[in-house]
Structure 1
């Protein structure tokens, strides 16, 4: 089946069916890993036939990328919501403290998913390209949301990208590395301080 044969569902029932397939794939990729999961297992987990799966997806990797999008958009959706709901006067230090907690929690809840996606981003060109586009889109969206709050530092795009990298690295420290000699409370404070200083220039 070629890409031209893939249907984009329009009816509610079909949309729900595609969502079930993505969620089933996400669950199995987390539990078993990408290479130990096949399309038939995903279909069974979703409660549909293998043929139905191929109505909506070209192959297993297509499902994986949809699962990555499902995970990533869930994480950033909460971030955007929090940024839009910020009240004036804005306390950037308190806001960053809350946002970092959201990211750490997201990494903790979906630890296996994050590990699998990170590994695939290093070995698969399509997954790597998706993450690249996702990072750039997220950076741009955050810059726009900041501008709406009159936070307009010089080189905003570069600074937001650096800030995202610092927070992502902190999440990995908390969830995966757990260096015994590190005080993560202090590390969090230093990250927040660095970002606040950077955004103030």
Structure 2
């Protein structure tokens, strides 16, 4: 294992790290966090195990990097869209509908890994704090976006916190719980109405 975790600079090295991230996500979403090891991830990425440890301290380090990548690739473009639109109630409803679709797709894409990570974080305070910091960053991005919008939101921190947890609950239900008695089209519309009331009222 490398004593120093490196940040790749050359394109070839960046490509290797990205292949490790993709291979790790592909394997862990299907088999779970606990049933995949670094050597298997490295093999699937077409690199040596030593290369894995050049860029990641361990599997959890790789997972946190995946989450950061999701924030940069998915959340930040959505937030930019939120800021750039002349946001009124109609635009807000369209935006929330798109947000729910994209975030539920992200959750579904994490597969078994999602629940395994929640279990792991409950036993590792350091990693849990890192995860909470990431969640805080996501919510702060939305708070800052709300302040820059035309919505004139009162108590944005508190409202975004409520909205975030409501959206998370919807995504978990749609991606993992899948109750037979739930009509997900109706659930989505009810979530949208609730979010409009929370954010705009």
Same-fold call, TM cutoff 0.5: yes
**Counterpart residue number, 1:134:** 134
Q: 1:150 to 1:122 in 2, by over 3 A?
A: same
- Asked whether the equivalents of residues 30 and 116 of structure 1 are also in contact (C-alpha less than 8 Å), the reply is no
* Count, aligned residues: 200
* Aligned-pair CA distance for 1:137: 0.7
Q: Which structure's relative contact order is higher, taking Cα pairs within 8 Å and 6+ residues apart?
A: 2
Q: 1:88 to 1:79 in 2, by over 3 A?
A: closer
Distance in 2, matches of 1:119 and 1:44, equals 26
Extract unaligned runs of 5+ from structure 2.
none
Q: 2:83 matched to 1:80?
A: no
- Asked whether the equivalents of residues 29 and 109 of structure 2 are also in contact (C-alpha less than 8 Å), the reply is no
- 3-state secondary structure, aligned to 1:35: helix
Extract unaligned runs of 5+ from structure 1.
none
Q: 2:190 matched to 1:195?
A: no
Q: Deviations over 1:24-75 (max 9, x none)?
A: 2222222222222111111111111122222222233322322333345444
Q: CA RMSD in A?
A: 2.4
Distance in 2, matches of 1:20 and 1:159, equals 38
Mean CA deviation greater in 70-79 or 164-173: 70-79
Q: 1:127 to 1:115 in 2, by over 3 A?
A: same
Q: 2:23 matched to 1:17?
A: no
